[in-house]
Amino acid sequence: MGRLNVTLCGIELDNPIIPASGTFGFGYEFAEIYDINCLGTFSFKGTTKEPRLGNPLPRVAECASGMINSVGLQNPGVHKVISDELPKMRKCFHKPVMANISGFSVDEYAYVASALDGEPDIGWFEVNVSCPNVHKGGAVIGSDACASADVVRAVRAVTKKPVIVKLSPNVTDIVSIAKSCEDAGADGISLINTLLGMRIDKRTRRPVIANVMGGFSGPAVFPVAVRMVYQVAHAVGVPVVGMGGVSSAEDVVEMMLAGATAVGVGAANLVDPYACKNIINDLPGVLDKYKIGDIKEIIGGVKNG
């Protein structure tokens, strides 16, 4: 094992860097510009039971130190992912991949997980519990500890693969939701998803995003992400995948000190398609700078007081 290796839910990664879902597609577009097998793994595009066109345009807005998106889970549906996307992905990526799944009911989460469970390329399920639950009047599953636990139990019942739950930061008490997911059988926690944001066009006096509000991501959210990763990692007994505003190897070290076992890189991929490759290349030098021999030594290594 090298100094960058980490183990996530029983699966060894060559390094802790994971492009976040929605910023890396199914990998093959990025494989045209560099060998994506340098990655620890990646989380592929959020997948639902049925195809989704997503939200109306415009659905992306630039911000200082970040961006807002309201793509709306655009994807071809789980069966097209299996028949079309995964065969193209496996030609260029030869490691276990993280399957990000979404749904609008507990049953839909279970359906998508069950459909993907037999795919040998999938190492983990990343269960995104930040989507509206139409069976509960449009509430967000991820803001309710009981609803989140229900999803975890349903997915856990249809797979033996590790289940990592991706949490929303748009909540009052993220620790209680994380602990509820752990108690329901989650093997890991992934956070943070995007913060809810909004921009207004001052000329038209209308929201820049057609959906009015969207997910705010980028370097500006990094301190919030570090805080939440720290809180959750010190409250649960399962590994944490930390993300939110990560754009450098320095950020990776900080996120891991907060308690992350692996680190997701999201919006940075949309600014620089080589972002993850560069971070991996820079990590050894940053470890040397801080006199860190093995990256595993720093997980949760922040000192209090």
Catalytic residues: 131
Separation CA 176–CA 180 (nearest Å): 6
Kindly report the CA angle at 61 between 30 and 250, in degrees rounded to 5? 55
How many whole angstroms separate alpha carbon 1 and alpha carbon 294? 10
Helix or strand (DSSP H, E) at 78: helix 78-80
How many other CB atoms are there within 10 angstroms of residue 82's CB atom?
Answer: 16
Tokens standing for 289? 């700078």
185 phi-psi bin (left φ>0, alpha ψ -120 to 50, beta other): left
What span, in angstroms and rounded, lies between the C-alpha atoms of 66 and 245? Answer: 8
